[in-house]
Structure 1
């Protein structure tokens, strides 16, 4: 059976982890008041008596409007979703053997009312197939919607249209195309005959006729409609740039965009900045962050709270305290565009409002059109090596402690048939893991009777490379058998997947019958044990580790990372800042975001000393000039000059972007990442590198130069950009582990020398002791 996995799929073909919808129903350490848009009464997750005294004071709220604002529905339309949108399709879907199938996934946007859906299938097949015993069947969410016989002549293309009943369409949908192929009217003897094939062409498509629905605005649905994880198109977000850009806006926007990056995960997200409300477009979603003084456009929005003299007022006409955050949902552009507002009467209120949205436990209790955040509990920073998408930090763990693709824990898994698919799961090493000899796994498995033990086996692979296996022992089946396998030290990478596969052969074979095949089964037990021997170290600088967020995403709440921008950042600087924040959000997973952003003149000395730094800006006003120190490898200079090793040149013009990683000049245990260019065009190339996976996952070395092969490159065409990798900086061994642990691992690594040294020392001391005893004996005599 051919199964297309979920790796590297766009939004229409990869199922979203179901755990995304898990939410906390009660947050006793935070006080948040929600404005009910219908009845106009404040509601609290708890009674005031249950809160600390500092949080029992309630604010008199104004009576909201009788109805919450809604985003008006767009006209009915048609949407065409071609199969080639999925990278698993590429040039075609190919089916081989007697029976084969392929799976694709697609989503339905939340505001679509589906009228009709059709599958337009274009296919071709081998001329050797026998028409009455060969067909292609399409199933949607487990229900067959039709079949077509494979009866075309040599080289002739077939077309088939299948109607999908609207009642079958859900938020997440699976399309299965199954091919039954025979080249004989009675019995196909060889299931591996190369003439048994058919193909579905990449221009096959799904055609939706839909009617968009209006969208009520309620924080209970957040992050929808600001981003829709079910969208078939890239989510588009626009930020309203404030009149003056200061640390409050920079940090708030960066943290919020990091959280949006986590939410959309692998799905595309397009971001831009606008200066006025009139610049917003109908297919975008707007975010406004800042106080009324920083965002004068707030007066033009229909907000649930009274705004007078740049102050939000409570129900009694008094200004809200400066440290109270205000969140609101509204619309603009004739009710076509949803707007998220994070504001307050002071910077502390703005920061608190934004932080409420990025803390998953707090955001889960939000509801209504507006929220006043009076108190917000701080979320403890996770341990540095607690990376949820990677292997556990402890050296011994079981399969049930790992996560499936939808973030569920593993249970026992049973597979059926001689061609059963492998159990595949992420086995991703932490970026600073260095595995040592002695790492092993003990696979626990069971299998059913009627297998031929001479030709049946269980095997384990890492990224398609077999690391071991065992022949099954009994034709009567086995229960809780186990096999111990050594794990290679060089195969486990931060992107690795492990496959456990049963090769089951029936004890008795009968021609043209699948009955003896389907009674075969094997089970992989969740208590399969892994024991790893590893040291914690990474060699930096290394841009390849940036592909996994290391070291900036350690810990995963980004609390050890800070971004620096020029004192007067340009739109290009801010867009790169947002793109970098989004990428860090995609590469991390935590209950909060603690990323901080500073302007060049406002960076505290303690931040330079204690945190990993990401500096963004053009060479002429780069916030951390130490990155272009002559001793720091490749450097950009004034008047379009550049220096590499002992060579120095000047270029006209210089539109290349620069990504450079180096040891921090203020702390050798920290890293400085420079994102720079000589021109705004070069800085835009850096933004595209951070945005496009096809470019970002080419990073390596310590310095990368990116340029475009065309004047106006297509941002979605990886061939439109050229990357040059430079390696000069001397790498140094870095460890994020605590010192006692490092010492223990060092002793463990050099145990042979230590043992020899200990024995030699013991012999020396023994000799010295014998000499002293002899001298004492002679003196007594």
Structure 2
């Protein structure tokens, strides 16, 4: 008996030991080795189809399109690559889903005139249009998933638009089913695609089409690489920033730009990129190797002796790739190269003796700070009237400019002259007017307004809604018919915006008070208050290509938002800014503080100054201060009133290392990061932006970040922690039960032993 208890006790102890080992094993498995890394997902462009002749809906950026009967339409535009020449065999392959919903009508409402064929499948058509050519009228005589292949004549790919883009249209007409109390709906699936057999040809280099072919606005992303001399002068850098700013505006920011120097230009970049060569003839020896319409000879262009400062714009097919072009923006002097760059920034280039050559003698960059006419019609602004005729919401935009130094009077208004059809459903139709994205007025339609061909509505314009520089006025109309079965060819849906609608903009002189805009939250103001950017100067370090690349991206962004007729920013090196020039500009100082002597000169004025040559500023305004190694990448943005002219500002875009400069500049361009900027000082660590205002009590503004960042501690001093892991739920109850069982066993053994001992004493 004693042996049985001993065996049972031994088994229990072994089993408990096993359970304890499982607990320890589970905890140990939760530890994450310090060497484990977690890859980030990078944003990717949509890949082209395996067959280069196939252009899918996904490549065109199109989602599923739903057309709702009885009448509906949808249009979209796309561009073809400039090096494509279409051949025979082009076609559109449509994937459609057709459904019919039968209406329910009670007997009380049925009439003898009701069509007896209610519920019949059919009675609808889908018209497919390319530009001004009707490709097919497809009968919708069945429901479900349908495949249709439509041949396209090559002649149909002749665009009617100034930008050369192709317009595809789908028009649903199911009026017959409408009168049968049925509703026919058509969905155009994303599995639809074009088949576009083509040959590759060299793109046209005519400057008349500029910015094409650099910017084609096709389904292939557009990019260009700006190449500058290895040791550019400030004037050559200014030309590069001018071109970037202009192209940012001309392409609405859709052209991806980058910068490199001549010695860093790789063979791969030459073969795959559109190149923009920027620099004086003597600084760019590569120009002498190209077959330019006006070649370089002896390091100089052979210009007329009385025009040594003329600028030259020349475009040729790339000798390294038949699909790309090379744009040369140059001159014999800095003045000539800058003129050429400013001409490029306008987007309108007049050819010389060859269609791919332009000679620039002079550029007028000084804006006229005179008040414009108080009353300007849409015609005066260069626009025509507009007729809304499509069912649903449509909009039309009009741009106008308010010169810097002027402000609109509180009496400003937009006098809208309009007319509309009486066949609209007034409860569901209407007009809304917006200024710079903010609603400022609306119009309710009625039989009274329909009875007059011209209605005059005065919409007040709040002075605070008007910005210095470019402004956009949007008119939106929602048109819903009273009878949904009204055929569109009757033109019963319409709202007419007459061209004599007038902007009443009395203006008063109002010197710009930049002190009220010295906040990172207002960026890109005040730089964009001057549409030409002639009040902006970039201050850059010598020999720092990464800082120049960052400045290029900022220049393109400012050009996009300033939306001026041309771009004319200035550029200085950080150790060579003449004192008289410092008071003229809003300064953008970009780079590492140690490479920018001007940062040291204004150090005492900075919201977060640098002490004793440290690359890391003093952060006294944060609630928590962290110990950050000097070589750990960090970006900084500081905004302050210019020490040389309090009416101007300085925006310092700094970093302790090149990566930090890149992070800081990205926060001024990336919309997600830019929304987190506030106050006058911001620290940027990758996607984390922490803002504060050193002019106030210590406060902090931390926007929600995509990735939370932590300080990096060197491995030698790192403390490895083991994450707490979950153990199986059954272990703890089993352990308790076994312990209780052991106690019972021990008690039984003890009682048995005591009983036997007592019996022996009695026997003795």
User: TM-score under structure 2 normalisation?
Assistant: 0.67
Partner of 1:737: none
- Counterpart Cα distance in 2 of 1:586 and 1:183: 49
Pairwise CA distance, 1:572: 0.5
- Counterpart Cα distance in 2 of 1:455 and 1:305: 65
Query: 2:558 aligned with 1:569, yes or no?
Result: no
Other structure's SS at 1:282 match: helix
When Rg is computed on C-alpha atoms for both structures, the one with the higher figure is 2
- Counterpart Cα distance in 2 of 1:457 and 1:671: 47
Partner of 2:133: 143
Please, which of 76, 85, 92 is the counterpart of residue 119 of structure 1? 92
Partner of 1:162: 150
- Counterpart Cα distance in 1 of 2:494 and 2:559: 41
Other structure's SS at 1:167 match: helix
Please, which of 337, 352, 374 is the counterpart of residue 366 of structure 1? 352
Please, which of 70, 75, 91 is the counterpart of residue 98 of structure 1? 70
Q: Residues 443 and 528 of structure 1 are in contact (CA less than 8 Å); yes or no, is this contact kept in structure 2?
A: yes
Query: 2:635 aligned with 1:650, yes or no?
Result: no
Other structure's SS at 1:178 match: strand
Partner of 1:400: 379
Pairwise CA distance, 1:334: 4.5
- Counterpart Cα distance in 1 of 2:486 and 2:558: 53
Please, which of 517, 535, 544 is the counterpart of residue 540 of structure 1? 517
Pairwise CA distance, 1:244: 1.8
- Counterpart Cα distance in 1 of 2:450 and 2:298: 84
Pairwise CA distance, 1:600: 1.0
Query: 2:435 aligned with 1:445, yes or no?
Result: no
Which of 623-632 and 661-670 deviates more? 623-632
Deviations 1:352-401 (A, max 9, x none): 5545544667x31434288685x723415123589xxxxxx655433334
Other structure's SS at 1:479 match: coil
Deviations 1:54-91 (A, max 9, x none): xxxxxxxxxxxxxxxxxxxxxx982554444667x5x5
Other structure's SS at 1:467 match: strand
Other structure's SS at 1:478 match: coil
Partner of 1:413: 386
Partner of 1:173: 166
Q: Residues 668 and 674 of structure 2 are in contact (CA less than 8 Å); yes or no, is this contact kept in structure 1?
A: yes
- Counterpart Cα distance in 2 of 1:221 and 1:683: 36
Partner of 1:235: 222
- Counterpart Cα distance in 1 of 2:239 and 2:489: 62
Query: 2:673 aligned with 1:684, yes or no?
Result: no
Structure-2 change in CA distance of 1:430 and 1:722 (3 Å): farther
Other structure's SS at 2:249 match: helix
Query: 2:202 aligned with 1:214, yes or no?
Result: yes
What are the ranges of 5 or more consecutive residues in structure 2 without an aligned counterpart?
1-44, 103-118, 697-764
Pairwise CA distance, 1:586: 2.3
Q: Residues 342 and 363 of structure 2 are in contact (CA less than 8 Å); yes or no, is this contact kept in structure 1?
A: no
Partner of 2:592: 618
Pairwise CA distance, 1:565: 0.3
Pairwise CA distance, 1:571: 1.2
Structure-2 change in CA distance of 1:303 and 1:84 (3 Å): closer
Structure-2 change in CA distance of 1:645 and 1:290 (3 Å): same
Pairwise CA distance, 1:274: 4.2
Partner of 1:31: none
Please, which of 556, 559, 563 is the counterpart of residue 534 of structure 2? 559
Structure-2 change in CA distance of 1:135 and 1:658 (3 Å): farther
Partner of 2:569: 595
Partner of 2:762: none
Q: How many residues align?
A: 610
Other structure's SS at 2:496 match: strand
- Counterpart Cα distance in 2 of 1:239 and 1:675: 22
- Counterpart Cα distance in 1 of 2:186 and 2:643: 60
Partner of 1:132: 122
- Counterpart Cα distance in 1 of 2:450 and 2:207: 58
TM alignment of 1:694-733, pairs within 5 A = 701-708=679-686, 721-728=687-694
Structure-2 change in CA distance of 1:629 and 1:410 (3 Å): same
Other structure's SS at 1:78 match: coil
Please, which of 469, 473, 476 is the counterpart of residue 443 of structure 2? 469
Partner of 1:664: 642
Pairwise CA distance, 1:611: 0.9
Structure-2 change in CA distance of 1:687 and 1:84 (3 Å): farther
- Counterpart Cα distance in 2 of 1:701 and 1:207: 54
Structure-2 change in CA distance of 1:113 and 1:705 (3 Å): farther
Q: Residues 458 and 471 of structure 1 are in contact (CA less than 8 Å); yes or no, is this contact kept in structure 2?
A: yes
Pairwise CA distance, 1:262: 3.2
Other structure's SS at 1:594 match: coil
- Counterpart Cα distance in 1 of 2:232 and 2:409: 49
- Counterpart Cα distance in 2 of 1:295 and 1:369: 23
Please, which of 498, 502, 513 is the counterpart of residue 474 of structure 2? 498
Please, which of 253, 258, 262 is the counterpart of residue 245 of structure 2? 258
- Counterpart Cα distance in 1 of 2:355 and 2:454: 55
Deviations 1:251-296 (A, max 9, x none): 2222233333333234222323143465333231223333454334
Structure-2 change in CA distance of 1:571 and 1:260 (3 Å): same
Other structure's SS at 1:176 match: strand
Other structure's SS at 2:379 match: helix
Which of 460-469 and 579-588 deviates more? 460-469
Q: Residues 321 and 345 of structure 1 are in contact (CA less than 8 Å); yes or no, is this contact kept in structure 2?
A: no
Q: CA-atom RMSD, angstroms? A: 4.5
Partner of 1:339: 326
Q: Residues 607 and 639 of structure 2 are in contact (CA less than 8 Å); yes or no, is this contact kept in structure 1?
A: no
Partner of 2:366: 381
Pairwise CA distance, 1:607: 1.8
